[in-house]
Chains A and B, each alone.
Chain A
Amino acid sequence: MNHRILVLASALIGWSAIPLAGQARPKPYTAPRTPDGQPDLQGFWTNATYTPLERPKNVGKEFYTLEEAREIMKKAAVDEAEQTEPGTIPDVHYDFTQFGLDRSQGAMALNLRTSLIVDPPEGRLPPLSADGARRAAERTAARKSRGGPHDAVQNEPLGSRCILMDRNGPPMLGGAYNNTYQIMQAPGYVMILVEMLHDARIIPLDGRPQLPSNVRQWTGSSRGRWDGQTLVIETTNLTDKFAFMGASENMRLTERFTRLDEETLRYQFTVEDPSTWTRPWSAEVPWKKDKGPIFEHACHEGNYGLYNTLAGARAEEKRAAEEAAKKKPQK
């Protein structure tokens, strides 16, 4: 376990601590250009992070000091590598570290922020609007009326069904593993390949209109443009099946990518959805250069897990019914 702390600590020292907004920057970086004049964002990137979306309740400030951040990352790495207790729920899982999947074993950007949310300044989601609260209650009720989580495939989480993961969004947020992205640019387009679900977001830059409002897609309709050094992507036409953090289909998302240096992208996003939150909210995540390749993510094709979960639930019910039948008194 000690070697992992050493590895992480030395990586932290080695990283040039490019701080995000709120701290003095050495000198402005200008990204090289693609042949058609776009700032070059290309390469493999990871948004792996230990920073939570919302500021922990016991933290009252926007930034940790470098020492505090290092301590937190060390502790997080130790937690990831920690032994599980046999016979407990966490033990019923393959060992992440054996496959190199825990975040401390991969690239990760240094982030001194105490939360990914930067606005509201408290670093927490704004309150739900009346509509938002009502819809949240309706969704909870609808979920309950569908029965147990393993009664039918449609009751399972979207990730288990290989339909959508938080890595895809949009917005694109990291998870426990497989947080790799590939950005490629060609004249008039940016492509963001999300490793999870082999999702290639193709963003046209030619100013064409969004899809018509009756066309709703899981990942919406995205249009991009350059604002100086920053790629701005606007997304609309979402469905209510996605419901990012409880959002409605009316959610409008603006994502921004700026290259801060050779190894770092700043990814910011703003969520506007008056039918869910009383005001827009924004977050910021550093993305770190990662290595490829991105291997095919044939999630649905290889989804033994979903089958096993449903079959297992039915097998357990059958066993329980047989036990109950045995206990019935003979007539």
Chain B
Amino acid sequence: MRNRLGRACIVTVGLMVAAISAGGQSRPYRAPRTADGKPDFNGIWQALNEAHWDLEAHAAAPSPVLELGAAHAAAGGLSLIDGGTIPYTPAALKKKQENYANRLTLDPEIKCYLPGVPRANYMPYPFQIMQGPKYIMMIYTFAGAVRTIYMDEHKEAPADSWMGWSNGHWEGETLVVDTAGFNDQSWFDRAGNFHSDALHVVERYTAASPGHLLYEATIEDPNVFTRPWKISMPLYRRMEKNAQLMEFRCVEFVEELIYGHLRKKPGQ
């Protein structure tokens, strides 16, 4: 086109196309604010994917428990990981494979042990975020697990724990949570993906719409992985009226499994 109007049209159309291909938004979503001016993440959230079975891409697989049939078969899923697979060292990969083969006896989820991080965020149950200027609490359905995110006073973990010690800060729209001080007991999923007590996780939570957050976690553990690796997934808001967390005091459900062999035999 020879005239300016024509060029302006092309430029405008070009910009519109660019905007549409960037997800149909011309600027990122801005969450409503809390009283202290931060993006408001208060609410009940839940992941909606197959990460709890296996973070890596995997086909559907049978349950190790015959009687549970299809009800406990692993659903197939795509990878949640940048680059697709977890970069294990050769020795660690062997351990992961042993974990998988023995998952019925080894998976800490089965014994109602605290799920660790980031597994807690993609268990197939809701969790609640309660947000304040000094603390952000993340309260999970599974085993009633709790994480305290320290927002103002950042300290090192005084001791190792299952859920780690979390220090958080805001970067614009994003909540950044830096967690260390883990023990080596939790897994990342039901497929035996694991870590050592050198685990270090940096998470980023960003509101993407009124109904979901974008969640990323960078996982680092020099004892197990050759380099840091990253997962990402949406976390969806539970929209039902009166949504709430229900009690999941699973210790009672697993006592027989863990201590049944120590029962007094009749006639003793």
A touches B (Cβ under 8 A): yes
Q: A178-228: which have CB < 8 Å to B?
A: 184-187, 189, 191, 193, 197-200, 202, 204, 208-209, 215, 217-219
- Expressed in whole angstroms, the Cα–Cα distance for A314 and B135 within the complex equals 46
Q: Mark A56-69, 1 if CB is under 8 A from B, else 0.
A: 00000000000000
> B171 CB to closest chain A CB, in angstroms?
22
Q: B215-250: which have CB < 8 Å to A?
A: 242, 244-247, 249
A298: which of B128, B162, B259 is its contact (CB, 8 Å)?
B162
Decide: A161 near B264, CB < 8 A? Known: A298-B161, A301-B162: no
| B148 lies within 8 A of A293 (CB) | yes
Write out the residue numbers on chain B whose beta carbons fall within 8 Å of the beta carbon of A161: 251-252, 255
Write out the residue numbers on chain A whose beta carbons fall within 8 Å of the beta carbon of B263: 151-153, 310
Decide: A301 near B135, CB < 8 A? Known: A36-B35, A294-B148: no
Residue A163 at the chain B interface, CB threshold 8 Å? yes
Write out the residue numbers on chain B whose beta carbons fall within 8 Å of the beta carbon of A321: 268
Residue A131 at the chain B interface, CB threshold 8 Å? no
| A184 lies within 8 A of B132 (CB) | yes
| B256 lies within 8 A of A186 (CB) | no
Write out the residue numbers on chain B whose beta carbons fall within 8 Å of the beta carbon of A300: 112-113, 143, 251
A310: which of B158, B244, B259 is its contact (CB, 8 Å)?
B259
Residue B145 at the chain A interface, CB threshold 8 Å? yes
Residue B174 at the chain A interface, CB threshold 8 Å? no
| B137 lies within 8 A of A193 (CB) | yes
Most buried by A among B42, B114, B163, B264: B264
Residue B130 at the chain A interface, CB threshold 8 Å? yes
| A153 lies within 8 A of B259 (CB) | yes
| A199 lies within 8 A of B132 (CB) | no
Write out the residue numbers on chain A whose beta carbons fall within 8 Å of the beta carbon of B66: none
- Expressed in whole angstroms, the Cα–Cα distance for A186 and B134 within the complex equals 12
Write out the residue numbers on chain B whose beta carbons fall within 8 Å of the beta carbon of A151: 263-264
CB-nearest residue of chain B to A185: B132
> A103 CB to closest chain B CB, in angstroms?
22
Write out the residue numbers on chain B whose beta carbons fall within 8 Å of the beta carbon of A145: none
Q: A76-116: which have CB < 8 Å to B?
A: none
Write out the residue numbers on chain B whose beta carbons fall within 8 Å of the beta carbon of A164: 249
CB-nearest residue of chain A to B108: A301
Summed over the interface, the residue pairs from A and B with CB atoms below 8 Å come to a total of: 107
Residue B156 at the chain A interface, CB threshold 8 Å? no
| A202 lies within 8 A of B244 (CB) | yes
Residue B36 at the chain A interface, CB threshold 8 Å? yes
Write out the residue numbers on chain B whose beta carbons fall within 8 Å of the beta carbon of A35: 34-36
Write out the residue numbers on chain A whose beta carbons fall within 8 Å of the beta carbon of B242: 208-209
| A200 lies within 8 A of B139 (CB) | yes
Write out the residue numbers on chain B whose beta carbons fall within 8 Å of the beta carbon of A301: 113-114, 162, 185
> A147 CB to closest chain B CB, in angstroms?
7
- Expressed in whole angstroms, the Cα–Cα distance for A162 and B251 within the complex equals 7
A198: which of B42, B144, B259, B268 is its contact (CB, 8 Å)?
B144
Write out the residue numbers on chain A whose beta carbons fall within 8 Å of the beta carbon of B252: 161, 163
User: How many B residues touch the partner, as a band?
Assistant: 35 or more
Write out the residue numbers on chain A whose beta carbons fall within 8 Å of the beta carbon of B146: 193, 198, 200
- Expressed in whole angstroms, the Cα–Cα distance for A36 and B35 within the complex equals 8
CB-nearest residue of chain B to A204: B244
Most buried by A among B34, B148, B256: B148
| A307 lies within 8 A of B139 (CB) | no
- Expressed in whole angstroms, the Cα–Cα distance for A217 and B131 within the complex equals 26
Residue A5 at the chain B interface, CB threshold 8 Å? no
CB-nearest residue of chain A to B44: A202
> A266 CB to closest chain B CB, in angstroms?
23
- Expressed in whole angstroms, the Cα–Cα distance for A34 and B35 within the complex equals 9
CB-nearest residue of chain B to A162: B251
Residue A53 at the chain B interface, CB threshold 8 Å? no
Write out the residue numbers on chain A whose beta carbons fall within 8 Å of the beta carbon of B159: 295
- Expressed in whole angstroms, the Cα–Cα distance for A307 and B263 within the complex equals 11
| B137 lies within 8 A of A217 (CB) | no
Residue A313 at the chain B interface, CB threshold 8 Å? yes
CB-nearest residue of chain B to A218: B249
| B130 lies within 8 A of A189 (CB) | yes
Residue A311 at the chain B interface, CB threshold 8 Å? yes
| B244 lies within 8 A of A163 (CB) | no
Decide: A317 near B264, CB < 8 A? Known: A163-B252, A198-B145, A200-B144: yes
A313: which of B114, B137, B251, B264 is its contact (CB, 8 Å)?
B264
Q: Mark B172-197, 1 if CB is under 8 A from A, else 0.
A: 00000000000001000000000000
Residue A172 at the chain B interface, CB threshold 8 Å? no
Residue B60 at the chain A interface, CB threshold 8 Å? no
- Expressed in whole angstroms, the Cα–Cα distance for A152 and B14 within the complex equals 74
| B161 lies within 8 A of A163 (CB) | no
The 3 closest A-B pairs by CB, nearest first: A35-B35, A310-B262, A153-B259
- 12 other A-B residue contacts (CB within 8 Å) besides A202-B245, A296-B162, A298-B161: A35-B34, A153-B256, A161-B255, A162-B251, A191-B137, A198-B144, A198-B145, A202-B139, A310-B259, A313-B264, A317-B268, A321-B268
Report B's interface with A, CB cutoff 8 A.
34-36, 42, 112-114, 128, 130-132, 135, 137, 139, 143-146, 148, 158-159, 161-163, 185, 242, 244-247, 249, 251-252, 255-256, 258-260, 262-264, 268
A-B contact pairs, 21 of them (CB 8 A): A35-B36, A153-B255, A153-B256, A153-B260, A154-B255, A184-B130, A186-B130, A191-B130, A198-B146, A202-B128, A217-B246, A219-B247, A295-B161, A296-B114, A298-B161, A300-B113, A301-B162, A306-B259, A307-B259, A307-B262, A310-B259
